[in-house]
Amino acid sequence: MHISEGVLAAPVLVIGAATAVIGCGVGLKKIDYDKIPRVAVLSSAFFVASLIHVPLGPTNVHLVLNGIVGIILGWASFPALLVALLLQAVLFQFGGITTLGINTVNMALPAVICFYLFSALIRGKNRILAMIAGFAAGFISVFISGTLVASSLVFTGEEFMATAKLVVIAHFPVMVIEGIITASVVGFLRKVRPKILEGIEI
Q: How far is CA 59 from CA 168, 172, 173, 192, in A?
A: 10, 14, 14, 38
Q: What is the pLDDT of residues 146-199, one digit of tens each?
A: 999 999 999 988 888 888 888 888 888 889 999 999 999 999 999 988 888 876
Q: Is the pLDDT of residue 201 over 70?
A: no
Angstrom distance (rounded) from CA 122 to CA 12: 34
Q: Mean pLDDT, to the nearest integer, of 61-76?
A: 89
Angle at 69 between CA 166 and CA 62, to 5 degrees: 30
Residue spans of the domains in the chain: they are 10-198
Look up residue 76 and give its amino acid.
A
Q: What is the pLDDT of residues 11-44, one digit of tens each?
A: 999 999 999 999 999 999 988 888 899 999 999 9
Other C-beta atoms lying within 10 Å of the C-beta of residue 131: 18
Q: Which CATH number fits domain 10-198: 1.20.120.10, 3.40.640.10, 1.10.510.10, 1.10.1760.20?
A: 1.10.1760.20
Residue 55 confidence (pLDDT): 61
Residue 167 confidence (pLDDT): 82
Q: Is the pLDDT of residue 94 over 70?
A: yes
Residue 51 confidence (pLDDT): 76
